Amino acid sequence: MREITIPIGDDVIRSLKVGDPVALSGVMVTGRDTVHKWLIETFIKQTRPAQGDDLQVYEALKPLLKGGVIYHCGPVVSGLDTKQYKFVAAGPTTSIREEPYQSDVMKHFDIKGVIGKGGMGAKTLKGCQEVPGVYFHAIGGAATFIAQSVTKVLGVYKLDFGVPESLWVIEVKDFPAVVTMDAHGQSLHEVVEEQSGKVLAELLAK
């Protein structure tokens, strides 16, 4: 198990290979569909004007995401009334939904790690090579177990998106994951897809 501290340097990212188990410690940010679409439209492609607290949130996010990690997660959070936030469940969300956005978001903010489940496609894999960055696969179905690695909720942005879609800033200790897409163009998901395709073709040929 490789212990990795966030923010992550390029040398560390390039030393990681698919199949490497890791324990992540430091500060990361959660973000799903709404967040990625908002970041692309408002700040990267600028197809919609910034509104309300958009610019303040953007400035706060820049240092958190530089060399940082974004986690595809829609957490279950207690303490919403008192603002004594605590993650009750923090399982990964299926990542392929962010495929249209992820590479551009990684490049814009210099994000080194993306966490989710199920892997991502060719555009994100290319982004991992260019940034450089990696995709960390988190264990699906282990939401409560993963939540135990969240030692503190440091804050939340865009709560108006709804709890699962907000940007939660969390401190983690020994967050378990496996590198399944690396900065060298290797993807375990690509391999699985290719092998599955061959099996399917064989079955259809019978």
Residues 6+ apart with CB under 8 A from 9: 67
Q: What is the pTM of this model?
A: 0.91
131 close to 112: Cβ distance less than 8 angstroms: yes
DSSP 46-108: --S---TTHHHHHHHHHHHHTT-EEE-B--EEE-TTTT--EEEE-PBPBGGGGTTTHHHHHHH
Q: Count CB atoms within 10 A of the CB of residue 82.
A: 7
List all residues 6 or more positions away from 47 whose beta carbon is below 8 Å from its beta carbon.
41
Max Cα–Cα distance, the chain, nearest Å: 62
137 is catalytic: no
**pLDDT in the model for residue 111:** 98
In angstroms, the CA 168 to CA 150 distance is: 11
Bond before 21 cis per omega within 30 degrees = no
Determine which helix (DSSP H) or strand (DSSP E) holds 143, and give its type and residue range: helix 143-147
Q: What is the pLDDT of residues 104-147, one digit of tens each?
A: 999 999 999 999 999 999 999 999 999 999 999 998 777 788 88
CATH ID of 2-205, from 3.40.50.720, 3.20.130.10, 1.10.530.10, 1.10.10.10 = 3.20.130.10
Point out the catalytic residue in the list 36, 72, 137, 189.
Answer: 36
Residues 11-63 pLDDT 10s:
999 999 999 999 999 999 999 999 999 999 999 999 999 999 999 999 999 99
